[in-house]
Amino acid sequence: MAGGPGRYVFGDEERKELLDVMETGNLFRYGEIGKDGFCGKVVTFEQEMAERLGHKHVFATSSGTSSLLCCLAALGIGAGDEVIVPGYTFIASISSIALSMAVPVLAEIDESLTIDPTKIEALITPRTKAIVPVHMLGNPCDMDPIMEIAKKHNLYVIEDCCQAVGASYKGRRVGTIGDMGAYSLNTFKTITSGDGGFVGTSDDDLYERGFGFHDQGHKPCRQGVEVGNRSMLGMNFRMNELSGAVALAQGRKLDNILETLREKKAALKAQLQGIEGLGFRTINDPGECATLLTLLFDTKELADKFCAAAGTAPIAKSGWHVYNNMEQILNRVTAAKVNCPYSCPRYDEPRTYAKHMLPQTDDILDRAVNISIGVVDKGLGSGTGINVNSSMEEINEVAANIRKIIAECK
Ligand SMILES: Cc1ncc(COP(=O)(O)O)c(C=O)c1O
């Protein structure tokens, strides 16, 4: 079954929260708890998630993509601004920048498969406004040097936590280190409501601006169904009570899910130590989500042979998380240049995106293979492996099979 760990542990808790909402038929996120059958699932999810992760504020959204758009809008990032983002990420980290009329500037990753902090400063220009570190495959980015660079150059940091809900870096949950964190609850994520997401921040003004943007410009935020003050332009990226009900139940399972994933990953990884030609991606903090085990072979040749025998693909060829496979952006000038309805002198040097423009990223992804621990997703290259419910016997079997295939590849 394709999906993330949250999908695998769907049970009575989610059904109960959903039934509460279904019995009253009050599906809109606003209301007075207890009045007209309003259950307040979304607002309860927001409060619990803020407390769980250590944000002052959280607001729920319709997706990780809309969460990123809300962060960019809240920070006032727009026409002509440049935003640094890694070339290995889901397309939404890039398209949300381009469709905010800003310019995505692609950065190299390192062997953690997250943005290489040593390659960021060379990309900074007078137009750079923000960095978007993506906590890819559940692995927290190395946030200390990133935050140092951001501080030195006066840049905003939007953490893309879509693949890393609940992960932590040096004792802080991801999303609480930069200015804002954007999270996804789609079906492949640590916890899920089918689709959905949320934004976290501890800055009152950013919260109000982000919330207003997600709710047709209501700023200050409206607390109920009444129409409040609409002081800005916004969109409708609200979560409804059905998604909120499932998200609420899943949120309560988050830390158990992470604990289980870390145990299972450790058990599998322990059995793959000491194999010649095989290493692993760098894990920046043991607080990672452990949703995936990434094998990092010494050579592309060995990775290719392994994949052919295992019926999988190296990350470089595994789908649309790699800039080389993003046909939407390749060989095009940035959307800001193409779509901008008015002329702006800052567009003098449009950016183009070409295959193999990030040689370090290409080299790493050619040698990297994802094995599922909890995210079973062929599009991420992790169609095989184990899942959050796998038994020790299954883990042993997968480990033995990987060892056998590698031995036969040599
Ligand atoms: C790194 C990253 N950013 C953003 C998104 C977008 O999230 P959603 O699918 O909820 O819009 C995803 C989803 O796959 C993602 O993996």
Considering the domain architecture, whether residues 232 and 270 belong to the same structural domain is answered as no
Considering the domain architecture, whether residues 198 and 310 belong to the same structural domain is answered as no
Considering the domain architecture, whether residues 386 and 336 belong to the same structural domain is answered as no
**Cα 392 to averaged position of ligand 1 atoms, centre (Å):** 31
Given a cut of 60, whether residue 150 has pLDDT beyond it is: yes
**Cα 185 to averaged position of ligand 1 atoms, centre (Å):** 9
- For residue 227, the model assigns a pLDDT of 67
- For residue 338, the model assigns a pLDDT of 46
**Cα 144 to averaged position of ligand 1 atoms, centre (Å):** 24
- For residue 300, the model assigns a pLDDT of 98
**pLDDT-based confidence at residue 296 (cuts at 50, 70, 90):** very high
Give the CATH number, domain containing residue 296: 3.90.1150.10
Considering the domain architecture, whether residues 315 and 340 belong to the same structural domain is answered as no
- For residue 334, the model assigns a pLDDT of 56
Strands 156-160 and 180-184: parallel
Whether 96 is in the pocket of ligand 1, judged by its Cβ within 6 Å, is no
Q: How far apart are CA 395 and CA 387, in angstroms?
A: 9
Closest CA to 166 of 374, 2, 318, 376: 374
Given a cut of 80, whether residue 337 has pLDDT beyond it is: no
Considering the domain architecture, whether residues 335 and 405 belong to the same structural domain is answered as no
- Number of domains comprising the chain: 2
Given a cut of 60, whether residue 343 has pLDDT beyond it is: no
- For residue 221, the model assigns a pLDDT of 82
Mean pLDDT of 381-399: 95
| 376, β-bridge pairs | 3
Question: In testing the pocket of ligand 1, which one of 186, 291, 326 has its CB within 8 Å of the most ligand atoms?
Answer: 186
Question: In testing the pocket of ligand 1, which one of 68, 113, 163 has its CB within 8 Å of the most ligand atoms?
Answer: 163
Given a cut of 70, whether residue 332 has pLDDT beyond it is: no
Q: How far apart are CA 285 and CA 199, in angstroms?
A: 22
Whether 161 is in the pocket of ligand 1, judged by its Cβ within 6 Å, is no
Considering the domain architecture, whether residues 93 and 180 belong to the same structural domain is answered as yes
**Cα 131 to averaged position of ligand 1 atoms, centre (Å):** 17
Give the CATH number, domain containing residue 223: 3.40.640.10
Given a cut of 90, whether residue 322 has pLDDT beyond it is: yes
Given a cut of 80, whether residue 341 has pLDDT beyond it is: no
Considering the domain architecture, whether residues 86 and 158 belong to the same structural domain is answered as yes
Which atom, in ligand 1's list, is nearest to the CA of 188?
Answer: 14
Q: Is residue 368 part of a domain?
A: yes
Q: Is residue 354 part of a domain?
A: no
Whether 192 is in the pocket of ligand 1, judged by its Cβ within 6 Å, is no
Which atom, in ligand 1's list, is nearest to the CA of 321?
Answer: 16
Mean pLDDT of the chain: 93
Phi, then psi, of 169 in degrees rounded to 5? -130, 120
Mean pLDDT of 99-104: 90
Mean pLDDT of 79-104: 93
Considering the domain architecture, whether residues 243 and 165 belong to the same structural domain is answered as yes
Question: In testing the pocket of ligand 1, which one of 61, 63, 65, 320 has its CB within 8 Å of the most ligand atoms?
Answer: 65
- For residue 285, the model assigns a pLDDT of 98
Closest CA to 179 of 96, 74, 104: 74
Considering the domain architecture, whether residues 341 and 309 belong to the same structural domain is answered as no
Which atom, in ligand 1's list, is nearest to the CA of 135?
Answer: 1
Domain containing 292: what range? 254-320+359-409
DSSP characters for 7-70?
Answer: HHT--HHHHHHHHHHHHHT--SS-S-TTSTT---HHHHHHHHHHHHHT-SEEEEES-HHHHHHH
Whether 361 is in the pocket of ligand 1, judged by its Cβ within 6 Å, is no
- For residue 220, the model assigns a pLDDT of 80
- For residue 231, the model assigns a pLDDT of 85
Whether 190 is in the pocket of ligand 1, judged by its Cβ within 6 Å, is no
Considering the domain architecture, whether residues 245 and 264 belong to the same structural domain is answered as no
**pLDDT-based confidence at residue 327 (cuts at 50, 70, 90):** confident
**pLDDT-based confidence at residue 345 (cuts at 50, 70, 90):** very low
Mean pLDDT of 23-47: 92
Residue pair 386/398 in contact (Cβ under 8 Å)? The answer is yes
Place of tokens 């200050």: 220
Considering the domain architecture, whether residues 340 and 380 belong to the same structural domain is answered as no
Which run of H or E residues covers position 79?
A: none
What are the pLDDT digits (tens) for 211-233?
Answer: 999 999 988 887 766 667 788 89
Residue 253 annotated as catalytic: no
**pLDDT-based confidence at residue 312 (cuts at 50, 70, 90):** very high
Burial state string for 348-376 with b = 16 or more CB within 10 A and e = fewer than 16:
eeebebeeeebeebbebbbbbbbbbbbbb
CA quadruple 20, 23, 29, 34: dihedral sign: negative
Catalytic residue among 41, 189, 265, 337: 189
